[in-house]
Structure 1
């Protein structure tokens, strides 16, 4: 029976209802967070806010944005994502491409593969990691947030397996046409591997954007904090010694819960904007890249 003439069954309705329920479960926390961030202090503290703001107010966002440190931290995070995701993309491709070749084409493949797997299973620990970065003079620089995670082994294996599953006829036809290794990579493998590359790029963007720990450990100056570290460190400390009536009024209206909700919502906006453009590649890329012949 064709799709055009097939009638909806009870199973179809049940699956649709299940998908709607899952969607609501996923969206509800975001709506609750937004509602708290836009609600008055008394309503929030009284537990009256659910999914709709009560006594609508922008005080939490105004308090958060009325600070040059916020914009500086936001800029650091944007720079980190751009450099980190770009560097991870380049190194992942350059490492996964030769590793996807057979041992006949790449004699040392098994040795390199052993080292790759070893790095996934064992690590030197936090203190040696910090001392290495310090000895390289990277502390308090953007490169301290980028270089230590420049080669994500999981992403390399994902892209490598994707490339290994590509038809061998593509490679053979390219060699017959006179293409070399670089032409094969740039004109055949990268365009065909867009689903896997989009998937690992999404992983890189989310990992760099959400990480706060490295900024906390590697940055001793607050002006170098990325956004997540800034938010983690940010505490509401209104100076009550000031006699300015506007400051005192803001202290009376503002709730820690509202401010924290505003922080959470602002930090997820960039990911929400990027994800729809990469989502159509996500399932296809991670499924094919996780299967090994």
Structure 2
């Protein structure tokens, strides 16, 4: 049976597609602007006014100066450490917490869950948190960026709900075969929850990659600074002088501007490349964690 759309349905489809295309272009333009600015000739870029639809000239000089900056390389190494170690620890701790809170007949399970959810709305504040970190000896330590955020409440709720959706008969069968809780978690629950685990990798990975405020508060040694804190210094404090010393000529302001955009691209592209590999799990994993049949 062939279904013929009415003129109102065609009008709605056309309007909807047009709106979504315009919305996509508006969303994409800031990224394209930064990309083209980083590839442009510095003098031509500074003199340009209006929309930026293509690079003004073409040069990779800004990227060369960025990668020659030892602070950028150091920040990359630190950020990779925080992302890899932090994400693995967060996955482990969140899985353990979600498993315990998703099992039936767990003593005070609802009370514990209420106290966990309460932390989404109320917290002690920055000063008490800093005093706690100081007393624990975590100030000016790599672990100051990893341990306090090992479990994020929202991610715990998503994973707990996903674990609750797994049939309890699978757990009972594993116990009959002599499996303990750790065996059930790592050999039954987690293999059946790969979509939500992939989403957790994305959530925690982006969280650790973009983290800069905790580093600003707790870190004193520059050799521990993550990439985002180095990026903040370049963009906000305009600290590009050490990157333009090898540039000839008098006015170094134009190359300093394109260096800022090149640094943004260098700090953004790696995490963007992670999305295509996890995209097929993203919607499914979030829906598993958000809807319980």
The answer for the alignment partner of 1:91 in structure 2 is: 93
Check the 8 A contact 2:138/2:144 in 1, yes or no.
yes
Contact 1:97 / 1:163 at 8 angstroms: preserved in 2? yes
Compute the displacement of 1:14 (Å).
Answer: 6.2
Which stretch has the larger CA shift, 66-75 or 252-261?
252-261
Whether the 8 Å CA contact 2:240–2:259 is kept in 1: the answer is: no
Shift of 1:28: 2.5
Superposed CA deviations along residues 229-286 of structure 1, whole A, max 9, x for unmatched, are 01101334537xx9x8x53428547344312211111111111111111111111111
Mark the CA change 1:13 to 1:171 in structure 2 (over 3 Å): closer, same or farther.
Answer: farther
Q: Which stretch shifts more, 83-92 or 221-230?
A: 221-230
Matches within 5 A, 1:185-224: 185-224=185-224
Task: Please list every run of 5 or more consecutive structure 1 residues that lacks an aligned counterpart in the other structure.
Answer: none
Give the drift of 1:132: 1.1
Partner of 2:241: 238
Task: Identify the match of residue 63 of structure 1 among 62, 65, 70.
Answer: 65
What are the Cα deviations for residues 158-205 of structure 1, in whole angstroms up to 9, with x where unaligned?
100111122233233333444332222122210111111111221111
Cα separation, 1, equivalents of 2:226 and 2:250: 27
Cα distance in structure 2, aligned partners of 1:80 and 1:70: 15
Query: Do residues 38 (structure 1) and 31 (structure 2) align?
Result: no
- CA-to-aligned-CA distance 1:49-101 (integer Å, 9 cap, x gap): 61311121223222222221110111000000011111100000000001011
1:139 aligned to 2:139?
yes
Question: Runs of 5+ in structure 2 lacking a partner?
Answer: none
Helix, strand or coil for the counterpart of 1:121?
coil
CA distance in 2, matches of 1:135, 1:114: 27
Q: Which residue number in structure 2 is paired with residue 180 of structure 1?
A: 180
Sort the Cα spacing of 1:110 and 1:67 in 2 relative to 1 into closer, same or farther, 3 A.
same
| TM-score, length basis structure 2 | 0.87
Q: Find the aligned partners of 2:263 and 2:4 in 1 and give their Cα distance.
A: 47
Three-state SS of the structure 2 residue aligned to 1:220 is coil
Structure 1 pair 238/12, CA: closer, same or farther in 2 (3 Å)? same
Asked if the contact 2:74–2:223 (Cα under 8 Å) also holds between the matched residues in 1, the reply is yes
May I ask how many residue pairs the two structures share in their alignment? 284
Question: What do the CA deviations read for 1:140-169 (whole angstroms, capped 9, x no partner)?
Answer: 221111111111111111100111122233
CA distance in 2, matches of 1:168, 1:90: 22
CA contact (8 A) 1:44 1:255 kept: no
